[in-house]
Chains A and B, each alone.
Chain A
Amino acid sequence: MPELSQDKIRIVPEPPAEKLSQSHCAYAELDVTTNFTFLTGASHADELVLQAARLGHHAIAVTDVNTLAGVVRMHDSARQVADAGGWTPKVIIGTRLVFDDGPELLVWAPDRGAYANLCRLLTLGRRRAPKGECLLHLADFLDHSAGLLAGVVPSKPFVKTARVMGDLVNALGRDRLSVVMSRVYAGDDQTRMRNVASLAKRFGVDLVATNAVHYHEPSRRALQDVLTCVKNKCSIQEAGFKLWPNAERYLKSPEQMRRLFAEFPGAISRGLEIAERCTFSLSELRYEYPDEVVPAGMTAIEHLTRLAWEGAAERYPGGIPEKVRGLVLRELELIQKLKFEAYFLTVHDIVQFARSRGILCQGRGSAANSAVCYCIGVTSVNPDKFNLLFERFVSAARNEPPDIDVDFEHERREEVIQYIYEKYGRERAGMTATVITYRGRSAVRDVGKALGLGLDVVDQLAKRLDGWHRGTLNGEQLRDSGVDPNDATVLRLVGLTAQLLGFPRHLSQHTGGMVMTRGPLCEMVPIENASMEDRTVIEWDKDDIDALGILKVDVLALGMLTALSKGLRLINDACRGDACVAVDAERRVYKQFAAAPRRDAGVTTTEEERATQASPLQLHTLPSEDPVVYEMCSDADTIGVFQIESRAQMSMLPRLQPRKFYDLVIEVAIVRPGPIQGNMVHPYLQRRKLLREGRGHEITYESDELRDVLAHTLGVPLFQEQAMRVVMVAAGFTADEADKLRRAMAAWRKNGAIDTFYPKIIHGMLDNGYTREFAERVFEQIRGFGEYGFPESHAASFALLVYASAWMKRHHPAAFCAALLNSQPMGFYAPAQIIRDAIEHGVEVRCVDMNHSDWDCTLEERHEGTEARRHEGRERGKSEWGLSGPAVRLGLRRVKGLKAAHVDLIATVRQRVGRFESIDHLHRATGVSVATLRLLAEADAFSSLGLSRRQALWQVMSLSDEEMPLLDRVEEGSGVRVAEGSGVRVQGSGKASAFPEPLTLNPEPFPAFPEPLTLNPESFLPRMPLGQEVMTDYCTMGHSLKAHPLTLVREELTQRKIVTAKRMYELDEGWVKVAGMVLIRQRPGTASGIVFETLEDETGIVNLIVKPDIYERFRPAARYAGLLQADGYLQREGKVVHVIAKRMFDLSHLLAGYQFSSRDFH
């Protein structure tokens, strides 16, 4: 969500009305380290700007060490103060360059050209160093010094500095070079200053005075010391001379500076002169769109207009509806006016690329409010059916770029990103950074450690700040941690923590914001390496980019798109495969088409095949409004379905009873903190009930205008757009005012800005004839929305995916199951539950087998006469629509530790030889390492050879990687390499070897390998009991098809008077004991600390509700148990049955040895 980044919005303190110090002397501070020199600077940019303004500084430079990351903050703070009518000093953009081979330099950019040089220089230094570091040589600077002003910071011994002075003077000239002199009350100030002066004189260079500012006022010394400690990983007591002796590095008043430099008055005036020469401001950075996206001979708007109308014609084959026509016209006009056309084209280009590569994608967020986006294929929300609010997307008044988020298949997003890098080049495209800031927890931890508090105490304190509270510690929290809140150290801790909150800690990469420019991006902002290979990141984050009006496209990843894409491919291939069903019962009919969804060779062929196909199923061609799909959703039978698979959603579904697409939109939006906190859920459900009972006329609206706005949600505002429209129609807001309100809503938690709208809303509504009571209620609702409301268009985008995934689950459960498994990790549920859910719906799931499985899960024909595995839980009423469909063959990706490359190798060779007759055959034919075979054996993947796990393992153990004289065996015509890791000795510890290297194959046919073993391992190897089989299944694959683990301990559980899930559903309300493996633990932010846990046993699922006091009391069990027993009250709410837990016990020891993992606290 683009609007959810207000963490970084800091409340700007009141700007001074006028210059506080009406000084007669002027001064420009040219050496200012902000907190973007991480763990060094101890003041925010805005604090520095405001302080400089108060003191009446002529100018203030920002010179962070080897970075420009903080310059936008400084620039923007000054602009905000100026906007608010205050006086601000001029902001000079600069850097403190630290070289590996020379003295430090302060560098200031006087104009755009010099700035570009500086950016290039920093990009150079950062691209050749690892992430977050910068490696510069003095020679680099000499190469890139054109236009820049520089000040040498002489360091002892001065001889070293003097040695490079000559070079600097030659490169820059005496005019652009200065020698920096600062006076920070060290004992030897006088001598040092004279030495510096004589150095400057020797080279004929002017002196410039600075105060080496690290904080805006002396009181920040403590924080600066703490940061130094954090940086040096020591405590304040040990820090010693790593700290500075005094607090002099603050912004001093011009008078003070003049007095300190009374001996060198020229140094002050030189500073002013430099400031005068620096005319560059960041607002000069004009963003220019890349022009590749516009075909030659056309203007951008012409091209966009053409695309829009062409797209519209395609979207509406039956003629473009009037409403849409009007919208598109209006939007195009606005786009042209704001010159955003290139941006739309850029996004269109990316989406077009994704489509051409068969990557599913969909725009969402506020962009879905645009009809043009719909027409050019970026979003899928039909403007004809929804009331779009274009103002929510683009506003004429707010001179800010729109924000388009596009989701791509999560496994293939990298392709899109690399496409962008390729198309625009690394010089012109970069990913946005994210500034990681200190939050409560990390701040307490670091400050506590620096103050020398014991790790115990620090951990305790940090723990009290559970989650993401932005607050600081209060007395109660302190006492709870066993700390005396009046203790001096603790008071210091509290104070320093509060100061540290919001400080940037390091830069990280944004989840997908890409910036593209027409000119070189590295002349606009330094680019650095990301921790991920092949990615480059700019130094500015999203807010910085917004502040400068630079456009970015969010290229996001969505797992469900991957799953849908894979599922559709499976279905399409399966349908085509119908023709060849009879060919070979043993062979998989669906397989050969489904085999290569991801890997290179497969893509083109599949693409071709699909092209020749008459009408493949596609995301937007799914049959719409299918009643059985809604029926399934209403039964909350939605494991695996996008968005509505969470506990909260699943308990809402039976109450909401979705019957049409719009209900899904509401379902997605209503189970959100916003509507829940705004108390909109119950009114909406009540009204819906009225409607269902045919009493729709009883639903009342305050006015006709409001009816128009709220009718589709039965009079309850559920979406952000509705809140905006309500104030527009009822309180007389303009569209831009409404947008401001939205932004305030987003940030009200921070600064309560929304309350400033209170009078305007109330009075506006009173003026329009609404009652005060109603007005108050509306205001409360808007307030409650806060940041957590969904815009309708966004919910609609999501609802499309909800419908698509639900449709697939209902009509193609096998494909759906396989697709979900192939897209892991994603979603709420672990693979074991997805498999189980499929089985419950009648899908036959087959175990992994090296003679049948690929890397991915595949679909296989259901054998004649085979009954689907009946699952005990099925009688619970789950339908069996999977019975007639294909079976799922689990892929070897389920086996932990296997490598895709090895499995592919096996699959390729298998296609040629038909079938592996023995382990030895497999080993010789493919040359996979023994370690890989071992993994296969341990995963019980040799059952088609009639070998049990232990037998297979016994045989594998006799093999050796070294004794493979026939490693380089080839079959004719196939260029496929068959041997693996030649010469790579793989330890038999379960680690597979490296990726295979190509080898030549020789044309000798495979001889049959009769197993030379004279002994039958069955005679001496003990049989594996069922319990251990299940256990090993879980250990190697995370699921078992043989039995549910709880069947192994059921007897024990029955003795404990624990009922099965199935039995529980038959019980009346009352005390009950249940037990099961914990699937999910969730603590929704809205549920006031209540934790929802989902237990699973062999018969079904139990929903637990754990109140906070119970959770705390039984914390070890509640938080960590894999197998949990819960005693409590059974409660029925319609079809939904909960157990309100009162006691919880950890039964994991019963299943000692298993490895389960629940998905905790998503």
Chain B
Amino acid sequence: MRRVLEGGEKRDPKSETRNPKQIQSTTFENGSGKFITGRSHGRLVTVPRKRPWTHLLWREGPRNAKVFGEQHVNHATASRPGPVRSGSDCRFVSSPLVLVRTVADRQLVVAVSDEARAVGVRAGMTLTEARALCAGVMHADHDAGRDERGLETLARWMVRFTPVVSVREGSSLKHEGVKRDEENPWGDYLFLDLTGCERVFGGIGNIVRAVSEGLSQMRITFEIGLGPTLGSAYAIAACPASAGHVPSHSKTNLQETLTPLSVKGLRIDPETCAALHHLGVATIGQLMALPRAALPARFGNQLLLRLDQALGKAPESLVPLPYCAPIGASMEFEGTVESLEVMWIALRQLLRDVVKELSRRGCGAREVKATFKRAYADPIEKLVRLSRASRNGKELFELLRCALEQVETDVGFTGVVLDVARFERMREGQMSLMAHEEEEGEIELDRLVERIVARMEDEGLKQVKLLESYLPERAYGWNRIGDGRSGTRAGSPRYGGAVRPLQLLGDPVEVRVVVSPSDDRDGRPILFRDGGDVHELRHAVGPERISGEWWRGHEKTRDYFEVEDLTGKRSWMFRVNETGKWFLHGIFG
């Protein structure tokens, strides 16, 4: 299966499938929605932009990649039993893929693609078992947190149908409330309270259709249940047999509607469910036939509560997803504006509005997107990132100005839109007395970094970090300053007994050395000649013997000496023991 990916790259999947590392670095989100309490059979898979191995995921990406911000949305059928309603136009990648979670040294399969299911792989197996069934099975790590966020994103999308959208009957979206490790026993679902909304859409049927179409476009498999109560809607969605048709939602025949449905649709805990199963009680109808008074003693209060909630005899409220209004400002010009100065004035004005709103909410911006509309050309978008939240208008303005420096103004602008894409609550912490200066310095550095990044784009700035390696030329690396965060400065690894020069030569310079005693490989240098300069050495400390990194094919061993010549100049030099050649590698300051 080949396909042209975003960016026009054509990849040979065979060569890709061989490389497990790439897959591992992909993360998945298994949001799956319950709409109008709809239950999805799908795992939502989001893949960051520009990743070329998208096709390795279960299905191909969506036609409309703009749905969730700018993320591709892929999906696959998850591991739950039941009919899989997936878009038939989906094309499949041929390799089976599973998501795994590592539990106590064992890699457990948590979700299975159709291809993997076809060869007998099931959720709950270990990866090894899955491999035994199908040697070519690929796997990626399951990321429950991203699933959670995916579901939330989907819930936000649903807000277009009703202001009251709830993720799992109002479980807090603040993630600390949700235990990550526990599989949600009732699956992923969303509740939409459509009361009153049908009039906007011209009937509830239209909403259902719109939701279905939207989800199909996102290639999410789903079940929709529609009911007068939360519980009944869930029960209908949870029973795939009934989900094919959207039942009427009148209260009068609610009891009949629920009678054939499985008790699993009551959102009861698995133990109760198992106990009912053991008693042979499979449907809500059978449950209702049991003597009501005998139930609490046997199953606790939850069962009756859930039953009553489904029947509308007990109240249940939704906790809607908190709405968070975006912060932004925009300005349309009356004609085209070509002068940068005017633009700046406009920007200042807009920023004033934005900063006001930020202050009102006690927040600071972390990401500001500026869109400059042009008359006869595509708008120019500039994204400015900040390493710490800020609502300082001047600061923001300077950054935007930096970003605007390279923008061509020939065509002329027709408007500016400012959008604070990311903002967060500002820390109003007390600064410690002693560390104040240091912190100030850090802030200064951050500012500098932000400005440079704004001017030179992401790739422009790098930061040195120390690595753990004995070989001096491998003992450092570069950190990219991607999101404006200046990275960790502390915690640089250092090797205990060794002395390292401040200045390391890019390439070691070969020098000619006189050694004493000359016949001895353990001899110390007494003189070296660098080009025309002769350095007579006062003393040489060493050797520090450093062997090559054999796993990278470096088998040679070096003896490093710290030497000082008669003028007091200190250098760092080494002999390659295998060849006996000498090199100058560094200079002490």
Contacts and interface: CB of A to CB of B under 8 A. Distances in A.
B182 to A, nearest CB: 16
Contacts of A492: 550-551
A489 interface: yes
Interface string A886-914: 00000000000000000000000000000
Nearest to A456: B20
A248 B522 CA distance: 13
Interface string B468-501: 1110000000000000000000000101111100
Contacts of A1022: 280-282, 286
A113 interface: no
B173 interface: no
Given A1116-B134, A1146-B120, A245 B20 contact: no
Contact of A988 (B271, B289, B498, B550): B271
B545 A259 contact: no
Interface string A1008-1027: 00000001000011111000
A190 interface: yes
Contacts of A1120: 120, 129, 132-133
Interface string A444-486: 0000000110111101100100000000000000000010000
A32 to B, nearest CB: 20
A702 to B, nearest CB: 51
Nearest to B551: A236
A246 interface: yes
A452 B549 CA distance: 14
Given A953-B279, A1115-B132, A187 B468 contact: no
A1021 B282 CA distance: 11
B279 A950 contact: yes
B278 A1116 contact: no
B553 interface: yes
Interface in B556-589: 557, 559-560, 562
B132 A482 contact: no
Interface string A1079-1118: 0000000000000000000000000000000000001100
A489 B291 contact: no
B550 A1020 contact: no
B325 interface: no
Given A187-B544, A459-B131, A957 B275 contact: yes
A1122 B166 CA distance: 43
A259 B541 contact: no
Contacts of A1115: 132-133
B547 interface: yes
Interface string B31-65: 00000000000000000000000000000000000
A451 to B, nearest CB: 6
A240 B550 contact: no
B297 A488 contact: no
A222 interface: yes
Nearest to B546: A245
Given A245-B547, A958-B298, A1020 B278 contact: no
B557 A1116 contact: no
Contacts of A1024: 280
B546 A950 contact: no
A222 B290 CA distance: 71
A242 to B, nearest CB: 8
A489 B553 CA distance: 9
A241 B492 CA distance: 12
Contacts of A239: 468
A1065 B545 CA distance: 77
A245 B18 CA distance: 34
B294 interface: yes
Contacts of B135: 460
A247 interface: yes
Contacts of B560: 187
Contacts of A1146: 120
Interface string B150-172: 00000000000000000000000
A1120 B133 CA distance: 8
Contact of B551 (A187, A237, A1015): A237
A950 B275 CA distance: 10
Nearest to B132: A1119
B493 A240 contact: yes
Contacts of A989: 271
B21 interface: yes
B248 interface: no
B279 A187 contact: no
Grouping DSSP codes into helix (H, G, I), strand (E, B) and loop, the B interface class, with mixed when no group exceeds half, is: mixed
Given A188-B498, A1116-B119, A245 B132 contact: no
B545 A1015 contact: no
B522 A259 contact: yes
Contact of B544 (A185, A240, A455, A459): A185
B467 interface: yes
A190 B541 contact: yes
Contacts of B496: 156, 241
Contacts of B291: 1015, 1020
A954 interface: yes
A783 interface: no
A186 interface: yes
A187 B297 contact: no
B542 interface: yes
A245 B545 contact: yes
A245 B550 CA distance: 11
A1142 interface: no
Contact of B497 (A187, A451, A457, A957): A187
A1032 B496 CA distance: 65
A188 B148 CA distance: 54
A243 B21 CA distance: 25
Contacts of A246: 545-547, 557
Interface in A999-1056: 1015, 1020-1024, 1028, 1032
A1022 B278 CA distance: 10
A482 B544 contact: no
A1123 to B, nearest CB: 13
Nearest to B497: A188
Contacts of B128: 459
B298 A488 contact: no
B497 A186 contact: yes
A239 B499 CA distance: 21
A705 B275 CA distance: 75
Contacts of B312: none
Contacts of B24: 454
B543 interface: yes
Interface string A174-214: 00000000000111111010000000000000000000000
A241 B542 contact: no
Contacts of B551: 222, 225, 236-237, 451-452, 489, 492
A452 B20 CA distance: 13
Nearest to B290: A1020
Contacts of B468: 238-241
Contacts of A240: 467-469, 493
Nearest to A242: B468
A187 B498 contact: yes
Interface string B227-271: 000000000000000000000000000000000000000000001
9 contacts: A185-B543, A187-B560, A188-B499, A192-B497, A259-B522, A988-B275, A1028-B280, A1120-B132, A1146-B120
Interface of A: 156, 185-190, 192, 221-222, 225, 236-241, 243, 245-248, 259, 451-452, 454-457, 459-460, 463, 482, 488-489, 492, 938, 949-950, 953-954, 957-958, 960, 988-989, 1015, 1020-1024, 1028, 1032, 1115-1116, 1119-1120, 1146
Given A958-B297, A1116-B119, A1146-B120, 14 more contacts: A185-B559, A192-B497, A236-B551, A240-B493, A248-B545, A454-B21, A457-B20, A460-B135, A492-B550, A1021-B290, A1022-B280, A1022-B286, A1032-B278, A1116-B133
Would you list the 7 A-B pairs with minimal beta carbon distance, nearest first? A240-B468, A187-B544, A185-B545, A957-B298, A1022-B280, A188-B497, A245-B470
